[in-house]
Amino acid sequence: MLTATHLSKTYPTPAGDLTVLRDVTLSLNAGESASVMGPSGSGKSTLLYILGGLEPPSSGTIDLDGKNPYALSPDALAGFRNRDVGFVLQDHCLLPQCTLLENVLVPTLVGEADASAPDRAKALLEHVGLADRLHHRPAELSGGEKQRAAIARALIRTPGLILCDEPTGNLDADTAATVADLLIDLHAKQKAIMILVTHSEALGSRFARRWKMNRGMLSL
Amino acid sequence: MLTRASLRYYAGTNALVVLGVAVAVAVLAGALLVGESVRDSLRQLALARLGRTDIVVTSPMFFRTALAQNGAAPLIVAGGAVAHDESKRTAGRVAVYGINEAFGKFQRIEGLTISGREALISEALAAELGAKAGDGITLRVAKPTDIPLSTLQGRKEVTGQRIRLTVARILDRAHLGEFSLSPSQGPVLAIYVPLDRLQRDLNLGERVNAILGQGVGTIIPPDRITLDDLSLRSRPGPNGETIVESRAGFITDALADQVAKIAKSDQRGAVPALTYVANSIKVGDRAVPYSTVAAIDYGPREQKESRPPVWLNAWAAEDLKAKVGDKVTLEYYIWTDEDGLETRSAEFTLAGVTAMDGIGGDQTLTPDYPGISDAPDITSWDPPFPVDLKRVRPKDEDYWDHYRAAPKAIISLADGQRLWGSRYGKVSSLRLSGSAPIDPKAIDPAAAGFSTRTVRADALAAAQGTTDFGEYFLYFSFFLVISALLLAYLFFAVGVEQRTTEIGVLASMGFSSSAIRGLFVREGAILAAIGAAIGIVAAVAYSTLILYGLRTWWIGAVNTTDLTLHISPMWLAGGAIDVFIVGLAALWLGIRAMSRRSARSLLKGDAALVTSRAKAITKAIAILLLIIGAALLGASALGAIDQTAGFFGAGGAWLVGGLCAASIFLRRRRSSTTLGRGLAGMFALGIRHTAVRPARSVLSLALIAFASFVLVSVGAFKKDVTAEQNDARSGTGGYALMAESVAPLMHDPNTADGREGLGLERGDPIVSSTKITRFRLRPGDETSCLTLYRPTNPRVIAPEPRFFDQPRFSFSSSMAATPEERANPWLLLKRTFDDGAIPAIADQTTLMYSLHLGVGDDFTITPEGHAPVRLRIAGSLADSFLQSELIIGEDAFVQIFPRHEGYRVWMIETAPGTDATVTTHFEDRLSDYGVDVIDTRARWASYHQVENTYLATFQALGSLGLLLGTIGLGAVLARNVLERKREIGLLRAVGFSPADIRGMVLSEGLALVGGGLLIGAGCAIVAIAPALRDRAQALPLTNLLGLVAAVLVTAVLASSLAIRLTSRAAITTAIKGE
């Protein structure tokens, strides 16, 4: 279960403090998912980074299956992200120097050793339709193919929390639909919690929970 | 997996990192190799020039050739001057070796047997004279004399000997043509002469003054030494006693002590006596001419009268009609080197008359004096002092027939030593009771002046060098090494910036900060290791190039072409490891800064935001350095610290502070301003971009600033010879010429009598037109910047009293405490220290770089046959032509170097325009003394050339630093353009022309080099301000303009690659970011 209570985030800037999140509270159980929609600058991505352990909140708490990631030491927090969180970002962020298979396996280079990881990586890539591109580099793939590989990478550790930041933002409508299908399908199979940020009404409406963000405030 | 993949993928950037590390290793390890190579070359050269010689035994008095046993080689070692008979070309400071067949056998070299008037000369001497085999040459050497020249009995006229020789062969190095007992790296002027020829022409019999040996320990078997080898002789006295005398006339104090100790241990009485020649013994108006007077403890020395007692022998008492109580006046000559021959007198009271059949007629009281003792009559005397033979009466000849040189008067030993004792000794004989001979084995040869030098060990020690050459080149290369490391860091930092998003992704996937750092450090370590390996190979090439430069372009600095590369794995590894560690540390610091950023900002690819804390620290550092610089300037101005160090420290502090200030300036928050239009707008846009990646910009500024600082500051220290000819305060001391002779010049050329004594005309117009200050000389090791060897036995000179009449040269510092000493610090040479140290003065360059001493420091020398002596540096001369010597007071000189007699160095003031005439005249008229005259300004300039050559080397390496800066800047600008592809595409899409884009990029380059130049050159001007002021020089504008031109070219070159990149991509491709 994921619970966030009274989350706020303020950034100091030379022009004065900038409050990006205001008193956000939410909760989701395992297997549940939600979309977050809102105008640009409303704090959607910031909420995702805070939930994923990438950015500490200015105030408030987070609890994922009884763990508050921000109460952990920096190394333990890294371990939390490695084990319990999977990110799918708008810009796929594949490492250009690695092949697709290597990219998917990158999260397994740290944390607990997992002898089955290569097989699982191949299975994931096959599931996302890239079985024949294992040894290709990102520069040789289309945008949709890269994003599918990024999805496989996010799931290699079977995380309990999947966070997606505009995963289809750079894709055309057909490719976006394919990627969205994949995400929803894999989420259903893994019984993880998934939160997806999107501008796309079509994508957002496919989720049972549709949250709105506006000026840092979340309305459930 | 990731490391391998990243290394392959980012090969382009990585190659530049490897290049930076390789350059740093090449320069650092190369500098260390240069140092080791120079040391090794000096070692090999010194040892090659010694042949098989390990030790050499010498003595100031000549000893029997037969003392050389067991394969040792006897020889005569002397200094000389050689002239080519046909061309009249001359060479001074020639090493003369009188050898026999034992020398060739000892050295195991064939072909060193010479006879008659044959001579073997070194290649350098042959080149200097333009001589070849078969040519006639004339050698001039000092005539050795047992009797010291600076005594009444010393023969002072024509102290040199001319020997005509024929060049039999020119000896190359393999045949020991460069034989030298003192290490030096310059050409060796040497001549081998048959030993018997030298012995005959110098009237030495079968004597030599040196023996070469191998191994350690004594090479003279003690049982072979005779009294004659110790310059002593003994003869029986009239009463069965044994009389010990010296060939030198005086027995030295050391030998007298030794003989007295032997007598004591043998329970024999030892009575010292000192016998002198009196021109007259007078009582009233009666006088006896040319008599000897013996100073010996005879009767009671009760001095009821005001005058000390004297006893006349019966003959003299009767001739003078003297009775006890009469006043007796002794008139006698005294020789002083300063004033020549003087007549003095002393008064006594007649205390008694001695019988002629006793001590009154004892001829053995007077030692043998050549030219006097062996004369058949008084009129046949050939003494080295004037004798008016008209005063000799028939009764005087009669006395001579019967009693020879038996003393006519006796005074007490104390009175005699007071009047006639000298630094050469205070007794002329010792009378030991009993007839048993003196055992020479019981006398320590060191008391007779024998000394043993371990020349091989000394040469190896000297080959360590005056200053560690590796250290020198490390200093020269310092900025180059820093620039290369900065470059490597810059490229690595650019590469890491390029992968900002990648780092964020890794963080998001659970890579901890330390895991991310580990990844990049592993990459950096591999790159650094590859760079180090390449650098090791490049170091060999770099050091080969430097050594080539030292043998050719920069030969002025080292004065030898005998420098070869010596590859030392230890130094190579040391240099590589040092750079590897420093480079890795720099990379780790850079990664640490990156990995501390939030994963979110990394994912977004944001530029690093400097926290307010970091900004505050940078600001504090900048202000602190500004204050430190100002404090150093103030302290220098007040004289609290050395000016050069203070100003350089201030310049350096402001350089780093300036870079910190630039960092703050680039990161400042700008208020909205318009950029302008047209060309001004393009330039403003370009300059504005330097603030986008401030860390990169500051690194680029640093590269240019360091190089500019070095190039401007070094150029200011170049030296010229600018003194007026007769400027007594200049580095020539107002002397236009310096003459040095092989044989001592005993007479004062400033007086008519002195000129006559030197064999010149009394009224010689050329000599009379000059003013000459005379200096005593003890030859020794070169101490100027011309030598690379560490001097252990430096050349010492001492001025005559007239030198102190006028302050000459300028002092950089001294121990002057009184107003008189401050006005003329040379007076410090007359100071006495309670601990017995002797004050000395030397040139500042000599002290700093050759002897590593400062004012107040002590330096120990061991004169031949003398206990070690401590010299205390009392003053340092600022930039003079006296770099080759230490200067001490004359009184101290004659005490510790008694056998280096007369004056061998003349400093000459000339009338304007007469230098050439005076030079020719002196060398011609005083050729028998082997006089060689040099131009003091030419000597001074040769030292400046060495120093300027070192500075030129520094500048060359600084220029390499500027080249590295150009490469770095070019890479930064190119990187910036690549990152701004979309932005540039957009600008072109909205109508910016290619020329506009080029102007924008060029302005960014100009801003960075201009900023670096401003900071570097500006701080350098601060650093060199005192040097400019001291020389009354203006800013080195030529230097500065040259530098400005160089950096402008740098900016254009660096920008050119970037400019080419801007015009490559199509607009749409650029906008899409593909």
Per-residue pLDDT tens for A89-115?
888 888 888 889 988 998 888 888 888
Distance CA B962, CA B483 (A): 9
Edge-to-edge strand order for the sheet containing A2-11?
Answer: A18-28, A2-11, A59-64
**Torsion angle defined by CA atoms of residues B491, B493, B494 and B500, in that order, rounded to the nearest 10 degrees:** 150
- Asked whether the beta carbons of B625 and B652 are under 8 A apart, the reply is no
Residue B508 has pLDDT above 80, yes or no: yes
Q: CB distance A55–B1 less than 8 Å?
A: no
User: For residue B1066, what pLDDT is reported?
Assistant: 58
Determine how many CB atoms are found less than 10 A away from the CB of residue B202. 20
Determine how many CB atoms are found less than 10 A away from the CB of residue B750. 16
- Asked whether the beta carbons of B662 and B1011 are under 8 A apart, the reply is yes
Q: CB distance B508–A153 less than 8 Å?
A: no
Sign of the Cα pseudo-torsion (B761, B767, B768, B773, in order): negative
Could you identify the residue written with the tokens 């001493």?
A: B853
User: B3, B505, B668: best mutation site toward chain A, by most A Cβ within 10 Å?
Assistant: B505
Could you identify the residue written with the tokens 């360091």?
A: B706
A51 HSE (CA, 13 A, CB side): 34
pLDDT in tens, B170-194: 999 999 999 999 888 888 999 999 9
Distance CA B762, CA B749 (A): 9
Res. B584 pLDDT band, cuts 50 70 90: confident
Distance CA B392, CA B352 (A): 25
Distance CA B480, CA A103 (A): 41
CB pairs under 8 A between A and B: 82
Could you identify the residue written with the tokens 């239009």?
A: B677
Determine how many CB atoms are found less than 10 A away from the CB of residue B680. 12
Higher pLDDT, B166 or B692: B166
DSSP state of B441: G
Residue B672 has pLDDT above 70, yes or no: no
Q: CB distance B603–A79 less than 8 Å?
A: no
SS3 of residue B641 by DSSP: coil
Q: CB distance B505–A75 less than 8 Å?
A: no
Burial class (CB in 10 A: 0-12, 13-18, 19+), B993: exposed
User: B512, B516, B517, B597: best mutation site toward chain A, by most A Cβ within 10 Å?
Assistant: B512
Q: What is the mean pLDDT of residues A116-125?
A: 92
User: For residue B609, what pLDDT is reported?
Assistant: 57
Of the candidates A46, A80, A109, the beta carbon closest to that of B2 is on A109
Burial class (CB in 10 A: 0-12, 13-18, 19+), A52: buried
SS3 of residue B387 by DSSP: coil
- The DSSP annotation for B677-702 comes to SHHHHHHHHHHHHTTTSHHHHHHHHH
B1 CB neighbours in chain A (<8 A) are 98, 102, 105, 109
Closest approach of chain B CAs to the CA of A70, in angstroms?
A: 14
A97 CB neighbours in chain B (<8 A) are 2, 5-6, 8-10
Of the candidates A78, A91, A98, the beta carbon closest to that of B510 is on A78
Scanning every residue of chain A, which has its alpha carbon at the shortest distance from the alpha carbon of B603?
A93
Of the candidates B502, B514, B599, the beta carbon closest to that of A95 is on B502
Res. B1031 pLDDT band, cuts 50 70 90: low
Residue B801 has pLDDT above 90, yes or no: yes
Q: What is the mean pLDDT of residues A166-176?
A: 85
Please state the pTM of the whole predicted model: 0.79
Burial class (CB in 10 A: 0-12, 13-18, 19+), B802: middle
Distance CA B726, CA B734 (A): 4
User: For residue B1064, what pLDDT is reported?
Assistant: 62
Which run of H or E residues covers position B1058?
A: helix B1037-1062
* A45 beta partners: none
Res. B1027 pLDDT band, cuts 50 70 90: low
User: For residue B775, what pLDDT is reported?
Assistant: 97
Distance CA B569, CA B576 (A): 10
Q: CB distance B9–A80 less than 8 Å?
A: no
User: For residue B155, what pLDDT is reported?
Assistant: 84
Q: What is the mean pLDDT of residues B405-431?
A: 93
- Asked whether the beta carbons of B927 and B80 are under 8 A apart, the reply is no
Q: CB distance A89–B603 less than 8 Å?
A: yes
B506 CB neighbours in chain A (<8 A) are 106
Q: CB distance A98–B508 less than 8 Å?
A: no
Distance CA B338, CA A92 (A): 99
Residue B919 has pLDDT above 80, yes or no: yes
Percent of chain B topping pLDDT 90: 42
Q: Name the amino acid, one letter, at B827.
A: L
Distance CA A9, CA B982 (A): 32
Q: CB distance A91–B501 less than 8 Å?
A: yes
Q: CB distance B512–A109 less than 8 Å?
A: no
Q: What is the mean pLDDT of residues B662-669?
A: 81
Of the candidates A14, A97, A110, the beta carbon closest to that of B511 is on A110
Q: What is the mean pLDDT of residues B672-696?
A: 71
User: For residue B871, what pLDDT is reported?
Assistant: 95
Burial class (CB in 10 A: 0-12, 13-18, 19+), B171: buried
Q: CB distance A97–B508 less than 8 Å?
A: no
Q: What is the mean pLDDT of residues B337-361?
A: 91
Asked if the interface predicted TM-score (ipTM) of this complex is over 0.90, the answer is no
A41 CB-near residues (< 8 Å, 6+ apart): none
- The DSSP annotation for B880-899 comes to -S-TT-EEE-HHHHHHH-TT
Distance CA B396, CA B379 (A): 10
Q: CB distance B2–A95 less than 8 Å?
A: yes
Q: Name the amino acid, one letter, at B424.
A: Y
Distance in Å from the first CA to the final CA of chain A: 17
Sign of the Cα pseudo-torsion (B783, B770, B742, B60, in order): negative
pLDDT in tens, B1060-1069: 776 665 555 5
- The DSSP annotation for B320-379 comes to HT--TT-EEEEEEEEEETTTEEEEEEEEEEEEEEE-TTTGGG-GGGS---TTTTT-SSGG
Q: Name the amino acid, one letter, at A10.
A: T
List C-alpha distances in Å: B361 to B193, B277, B313, B1017, B1058: 47, 16, 7, 89, 109
A109 CB neighbours in chain B (<8 A) are 1-2, 511
Q: What is the mean pLDDT of residues B377-400?
A: 90
Six token digits for residue B960 = 């390499």
Which run of H or E residues covers position B1043?
A: helix B1037-1062
- Asked whether the beta carbons of A153 and A103 are under 8 A apart, the reply is yes
Residue B300 has pLDDT above 80, yes or no: no
Residue B489 has pLDDT above 90, yes or no: no
DSSP state of B598: -
Closest approach of chain A CAs to the CA of B9, in angstroms?
A: 5
Higher pLDDT, B703 or B469: B703
Computed over every residue of chain B, the mean pLDDT equals 86
Q: CB distance A97–B1 less than 8 Å?
A: no
Res. B674 pLDDT band, cuts 50 70 90: low
Among B604-618, B906-920, B951-965, B976-990, the minimum mean pLDDT is found in B604-618
Q: CB distance B508–A80 less than 8 Å?
A: no
pLDDT in tens, B238-289: 888 999 999 989 999 989 999 999 999 999 999 999 999 999 999 999 999 9
